[in-house]
Chain A
Amino acid sequence: MWEFLRHINKAGTTIILTTHYLEEAEYLCRHIGIIDHGRLIENTSMRSLLAKLQVETFVLDLAQPLQNIPPELHHVARLIDERTLEITLNSPTPYFLSLLNHYTWFPVHIATVAKHDGLTRRGSGWTKPENFVSNGAFRLKSWRLGRKIIVEKNHDYWDAETTKLDEIHFYPIELETTQENAFRGGQLHNIYSLHIDKIATYKKEHPDELRIKPHLASYFYRFNVTKKPCDDVRVRKALAMAIDRGSITKNVTKGEQMPALFFTPPGVAGYTARARIEENVEKARQLLAEAGYPDGKGFPSLELLYNTTEGHRIIAEAIQQMWKKNLNINITLENQEWKVYLDRQREMDYQVSRAGWTGDYPDPNTFLDMWTSWSQQNQTGWARDDYDALIRKAAVTQDPEARLELFQQAEEILMDELPILPIYIYTRVYALNPAVKNWHANVLDHHPWKYVDLEVKAAQ
């Protein structure tokens, strides 16, 4: 529908669109007017409105009144009245509003938390279904370990009349094949992921149920730059140049993933990296020779660490073959269970290690600040002052274009130094029963459940 509107708009027709959805307005419109209680409060171009939002103070209208804010937040938050909250930030944060959408910002009922062991204790009793207080469109009805979590419509929710469904049942099914069987058997309307082997079948037999959607996540390998041979940037470059990412996404992962020649998923908040890794076997061989390993001769043993999962194994095997064929080097694959893998990555006890990163909010910062020297997630041993400086500067830069330019420069350094080897940008591959309405895919996988509806067919 959106594409259709864009199309006729491009053909020269002016479209006046009214919508409740700001994403829709942001996606489609160049000029925007905002009406509040019959009064036009904003009438400007989309670009200048977005620029205006890059401020250090946010005033939020609260759906439910708030009596007070905890003293430890007084320096950043202030209640103007019981329905208006003002938050002051250290620096302009363009992604602040989507940050508020992250689950770490979800409201909790303070009195309940205080009654059950308090905020700082992990696993305190307030999360138990009998104690849990929810202010969302649904509330927790039952949660028994290993069984489905049942949520029911919350009639006290401020917008309860929008809520369509009476109950939603979430099943904890670990195996993809079992998920798929339950879906085929009509027990589930939506499954989280579809097994690789099933994608082709679904394309042929159930195209109306298959969904393949972009996902804000990157699949990559970490290099340990403190260990031979990956301490040499020429070796890292050679390895990154000598794999055919297109062939991996086409023949191995098969889920229409995007071959990644850079790290940040493209199109995030107007940012697509201009840095590119060049896939060039000739150059890769040359670089390897310069590093002292002509035709792979004398190349030290290299071990690729991944956590035990079929999907990671087949990718690792494909890359192992490509390196063998293109660079004439032999690497060994080492799979470890999840916790051992994490431990070895944290202790830097690896040479090359499989990794993935999902963005917390749609902004390049959530991908690029990982590689600063102070980041917990870095775990490559790589650090560069100029890179750190760019990320620091971007955090305090007001002008959106200048800010994105800083990220561009940072990603160029990253793709030149390659402490990581990007492989592909994830997609979410799953199945959805067409009877489910208003379930919209988005890169962050956020689903406002109150809009979701189920079309019940009349008895046949």
Chain B
Amino acid sequence: MLKFILRRILETIPVLLCVAAMTFFMCRLAPGGPFDEDKQVTAEVRELLNKQFNLDQPLHKQFIQYITHLPTLQSFKYPNRTVGEIISQKFPVSAKLGFFSMCIALGLGILFGVIASLRPNTYIDYVPSSLAMIGICLPTFVMGPLLMLVFSLKLGWFPATGWGGFSGDQFFASDMVLPSVTLGFFYAAYISRLTRGGMLDILTQDYIRTAKAKGASGLRVILKHSLRGGLLPVISFMGPAVAGLIAGSFVIETIFAIPGLGQDFVKSAFNRDYTLVLGVVMFYATLIIFLNLIVDILQVTLNPKLKFD
């Protein structure tokens, strides 16, 4: 297993380099630059700025500087912060939002999926399955404002925006509920569909019939015998999903005004913030690769048919 992990880590290096090169050069090909504003700067000022930010150097030199010093480079848009500072300030917010949403997604998704799979094609299946379809079809930018309208403006249960209470530092605050639920519901819908499909496959297997025949209780059949296999599709889905969740959701963060990293993922590209774009993309890429590795390990552990090679 160690050999497997080591080999996978070595494999990531060229992947990350490719991602870095593509991001860097695509940014530079895009028209417009970080210092374009509606009030134009004079040629002298532009030259000085280019010099300060090393934009006057040949591209390959800049690229090497970018990949070797990325965390300590100045952001173009927030020049008094470095890329590392921005990511380390904002990522914990996104990660927390992702964590809460994931708990909701897994809890609801697996529960609904299992219930639906037990009595396929009956009302017990139709109700959670159609709820899941609604969840998938309703995009977060509809669901979010809708929840906000009902639960903060009409009922006044939760604040409409914010993160971490008035001080912004509370570990848990009521303003975290709506965004987590909005994001969690969306993923719960997918997970319940995947769980239902996976469970239906497993529940018709011979070994389940054997388990039932030897008199195992219904709950035991589900928890011990079926879930382990039934959740395999969910686990492969969770790799990229978790990365997506904890790296932040641009839509949710914008709607609820949450100070997370997800907004920078999109906005840094619009701002032509060359250093921050690269920083966020590399961070996200590393996260996905790492989480996929964990998923692979989990799958081998759960599925005895697979081996580490």
Q: Which residues of A contact B (CB under 8 A)?
A: 120-125, 127-128, 144-148, 171-175, 177-178, 181-182, 184-185, 187, 337-344, 346, 355-356, 376-377, 379
Contacts and interface: CB of A to CB of B under 8 A. Distances in A.
Interface stretch (B13-21, B145-153, B293-301): B145-153
B79 A181 contact: no
Interface of B is mostly: loop
Contacts of B33: 339, 343
Given A128-B80, A340-B32, A342-B32, 16 more contacts: A122-B79, A123-B75, A146-B90, A147-B163, A171-B161, A171-B257, A173-B161, A175-B255, A177-B145, A178-B256, A182-B162, A185-B152, A339-B271, A376-B42, A377-B40, A379-B40
3 closest residue pairs by CB, A with B: A123-B79, A146-B259, A339-B32
Contact of A182 (B30, B53, B160, B271): B160
Given A147-B259, A182-B161, A377 B254 contact: no
Nearest to B85: A145
A127 B160 contact: no
Contacts of B306: none
Given A342-B38, A377-B39, A182 B257 contact: yes
Contacts of A120: 48
A177 to B, nearest CB: 7
Contacts of A377: 39-40
A346 B43 CA distance: 12
Given A123-B74, A145-B259, A376 B161 contact: no
B36 A178 contact: no
Contacts of A148: 168
A178 B257 contact: yes
Interface in B94-120: none
B89 A145 contact: yes
B229 interface: no
A181 B160 contact: yes
Contacts of B162: 182, 187
B160 A187 contact: yes
B31 A123 contact: no
A122 B36 CA distance: 15
B52 interface: yes
Contacts of B196: none
Contacts of B258: 146
B160 A178 contact: yes
Contacts of A144: 89, 168, 259
B37 A342 contact: yes
A419 B168 CA distance: 50
B193 interface: no
Contacts of B32: 338-343
B128 interface: no
